Structure 1
């Protein structure tokens, strides 16, 4: 019989979060494409896409492998590929499958010119300096697309914000201004700028298509705000069973490195999950978890397959009880903060040996 460790996926919460994103997008003039890259942020790309199929007009992924997963799920929506294409053959596949690559360099444009063109987007580098054409290069790019007769399939322009999660930063306003100036000569083409954080910035234009990602899964995209404070519902609840309980005496330690030593008699339990399952190894003593609806804390180091928790506050807890590592009682963002990382990493890092129970 397999161990009971599981990631429970609440598809109703997912739909709630998408509809919130869509409502914020529609408050302007935009529609929300659902970003389901990285296996639906660790939730299972097929289940996530199928759950959103009745609401989402487009999906967005990073690469062609993920786009093909959406087709394998039986869905026909357009799929925007945010990293573009990695070979000329991918251009032909995009046309056949109604994928919309976001092209960001001259090599990709050469592949486009040598192929039957799919619908596509152009990435504009407004200051993040990862991918995209510089604004001053855009007129020459557009002229070249006219010359090779690939302008008709162009859907519009995309950029990505570097600091939208930080309301104290002025960079988002700067990037927005640069983007408007760079693309203003082509008003008939669509524009897309809005990551999850941009949905929560007052007066931030989202143009034609926003791109909600982490907010769909209930984690906060904003510095200093929880998902719940933003109206989001957690989608993943990561649970594992207590497999033993014991009383640790004063002076005794727990786990590798003996990093936690009891100063009083302490009832503790071992939980069947560890960094081999994607739980963060750097989550130390005091990182919150929950059992029987009550919050408890970790003790000592996280091992590959197990971790220890303090059961002092829940004396009735026993072997077989399920421990919530994150979910509705303990947010993934809170655990991430204790581990020195972000909720994105935790959700996408849950490994394949943890089954997803989607319902």
Structure 2
């Protein structure tokens, strides 16, 4: 079966991806702009994204798992690749074979990598992750103070931490993390340092100083999502999703639509049924109920509100005011009228989750 009969078309603009990397790189030109391509490059395809970003000028990439590092290495033979989720037990040889660098965040990981380097005699670099307030991964400040001054048995190529609240600029925690990072950076003064994620890249300063350091690690912003709410976005949309209309029907006032009869129609309504559902990553929370609107699709320039609950494979939208909409037409779910963050807001979630949840049943194409 070919993609000609898919219920959804996902179009990925690699030119927009490259443009976003250049935009983010220009914000703090004294600091290298890396690219985070974990989670299948936020849903758009690891190999395709890595190749496009390398062509744009990115030389350093971050992934979460060794399998993702392998995909990036296959796409770029000379990229510097860091594995954010640390060092899985016994994984030293596998990472060294593809020239991927683990981000070490515990005493156990540091000891295992040190033993591997000593045993093989290889010059294998790795990053050190210190925790400045996220309480997720990384050496605590006391551990860092104990371990790092005594010297490491390998070449530390990066000292990094991760911002917890940078998407809320008024929060004081970001400046507290920056100050803590500066203090701990003194333990490895010759090692390049990295603190900023997407939000820290887009808002590169706090009251106390610059967040850029030597290298920034934007992720979701590369793919067109603006992680800082209420700010104008300099980013281009990277993904477009269109859904196929499989039936158009007339419904009388007072009729209920979908599971549970969650929405009762207030007027005679023309409904288009789309071949798309929560199995494709359009979250069930984006449906509507009486008195509570949901997400909105577009037929051309005409808004078409979701009607009733989203099913696994189907969504009903109101096309009463959309002109001629017929079986076989395509309706925009993400695109010129509906950005990733707008759809996320309608579904009560964030752009990260929308992008990484886009389903496997779509017909995918790459442009740009």
Question: 1:50 and 1:169 mapped to 2: Cα distance?
Answer: 36
Equivalences for residues 2-81 of structure 1 within 5 A: 2-26=5-29, 29-54=30-55, 55-81=57-83
Q: What corresponds to 2:105 in structure 1?
A: 104
* Structure 1 residue 73, shift from structure 2 partner: 2.7
* 1:72 Cα deviation after fit: 2.7
Cross-structure match for 1:348: 356
Find the residue that maps to 1:22 and give its secondary structure.
helix
1:50: how far off? 1.0
Task: Assess if the C-alpha contact under 8 Å between 2:54 and 2:76 holds in 1.
Answer: no
Aligned mate of 1:339, from 332, 347, 354 = 347
Distance 1:301 1:313 in 2: 21
User: In the aligned structure 2, how far is the partner of 1:274 from the partner of 1:350?
Assistant: 11
Give the whole-Å Cα distance in 2 for the aligned partners of 1:45 and 1:312: 40
Shift in Å, 1:305: 0.5
Aligned equivalent of 1:248, options 247, 251, 262: 251
Counting only pairs closer than 5 Å after superposition, residues 96-135 of structure 1 correspond to structure 2 as 96-116=97-117, 118-135=124-141
Distance across 1 between alignment mates of 2:142 and 2:179: 14
> Contact 2:126–2:156 (CA<8 Å) still a contact in 1?
yes
Q: Distance in 1 between matches of 2:77 and 2:335?
A: 29
The alignment covers a number of residue pairs equal to 349
Distance between the aligned counterparts of 1:75 and 1:307, measured in 2?
43
Residue pair 1:251, 1:261 contacting (<8 A) in 2 also = yes
Provide the secondary structure at the position in 2 that maps to 1:245: strand
For each residue in 1:29-82, what CA deviation from the matched residue of structure 2 results, as whole angstroms up to 9, or x when unmatched?
211111000000001111111111121011110111100111233543011111
Corresponding residue for 2:316? 308
Name 1:237's counterpart in structure 2: 240
Output the CA distance in 2 between the equivalents of 1:76 and 1:2. 39
Q: Deviations over 1:158-193 (max 9, x none)?
A: 000000000110111000000001112432110001
The residue matched to 1:230 in structure 2 has which SS?
A: coil
The CA distance in 1 between the partners of 2:249 and 2:77, in whole Å, is 50
Equivalent-residue separation in structure 1 for 2:356 and 2:251 (angstroms): 34
8 Å CA contact 1:246–1:268 kept in 2: the answer is yes
Q: Within the alignment, does 1:206 sit opposite 2:212 as a pair?
A: yes
- What is the distance in 2 between the residues matched to 1:224 and 1:321? 34
What's the RMSD between the two structures over aligned residues?
1.5
| CA-CA distance at 1:254 after TM superposition | 1.1
Partner Cα distance (2:151, 2:189) in 1: 17
> Partners in 1 of 2:72 and 2:204 — Cα distance?
33
Query: Structure 1 residues 202, 94: closer, same or farther in 2, change over 3 A?
Result: closer
Question: Which position in structure 1 is the counterpart of 2:120?
Answer: none
> Could you report, residue by residue, the CA deviation over 1:249-295 in whole angstroms, capped at 9, with x for unpaired residues?
01111111111111211111001100111111110223111111322
2:268 aligned with 1:277:
no
Query: Unpaired segments of 5 or more residues in structure 2?
Result: 118-122
Instruction: Report if aligned partners of 1:64, 1:85 keep a CA contact under 8 Å in 2.
Output: no
1:192 match: 194
CA distance in 2, matches of 1:158, 1:275: 37
Q: How far apart, CA to CA, are the structure 2 residues paired with 1:5 and 1:186?
A: 50
TM-score by structure 2 length?
Answer: 0.91
Task: Tell me if the contact between 2:254 and 2:266 (Cα under 8 Å) persists in the aligned partners.
Answer: yes
Deviation at 1:144, TM superposition (A): 4.7
Residues 192-241 of structure 1: CA distance to partner in whole angstroms, max 9, x if unpaired?
Answer: 0110001222523211110010000001111233xxx2211110111111
**Conserved? CA contact 2:33–2:217, under 8 Å:** yes
